[in-house]
Structure 1
């Protein structure tokens, strides 16, 4: 089997045809080297293995587009690097979101407890004052944790109607309760 795929063009040709032996040869030939390379980028063995695994999956899924003139080795290394960049971007955006969440929580904690308690009671009171259908949908979503699809199936209405009622509820509550400027995210965090 090794001789059969020794040449780059031959290996790519068999991969394009969906040859499982060619794919096994590809994995067996490059897996260790690619994992070492990925680990040098992320310094996390498990994440490095995930990156390489994703590269193999994408390579197999897009095998028909492989170019027999290009080096498969160079292609794999470049793919690992690109996957690393994608992972980095995903993790970076999560980190930014977590940072914003923590900053919002810090701002809330710094506020006087009485202000928070009063605000919470005001919001709860305004929820009770929502129109009946709007209130029901809002509570199913935010208190019971049902998805929009689950609510639409449960109430036999469209998901667009569910979304409209939830948006309307947030707007009505926001209009009726004056939030301090640094508490704007309070309403959102209260129901997430």
Structure 2
């Protein structure tokens, strides 16, 4: 079958359901790179990201008969990749102390139309942090990445707690302009998850 015939979502899913290996090859060629970048943003490790994406495609093929033609395959792949990422670290027992309610809240942000958008927001926030003013960036990373309290940061940098609070507020204000209300979820994915498996 011509590759162009796979560009229709319903047709592509139908071909997958009947076991068309050409459709599966098209799926991999089309979505491997963006899914890998998404998984890498989540895991911060290339080998882990590759494993996660491979698992996404393997599961898609294994359960292809259950695919819903009314849903966009791209969105299903992003959602599956996120779920595989969470499952990977649960297996590693790295998320034992993680609040499952919060994981579910983050999971809900990866719903159908938001998966690809969230991937772009993760990249935007990462770039935005790098572009913060030097002192603001330093204080923000000590807080979010290193997990220091405001008191600890103030003592470490020999500055007032009000200065610390002001700089963190400034960082949040700048970053929220970039991506809006999903900032907390994105920061959680960037820092909290990775602190638990570092």
* TM-score normalized with structure 2 length: 0.47
Name which one, 1 or 2, has greater alpha-carbon Rg: 1
* TM-score normalized with structure 1 length: 0.48
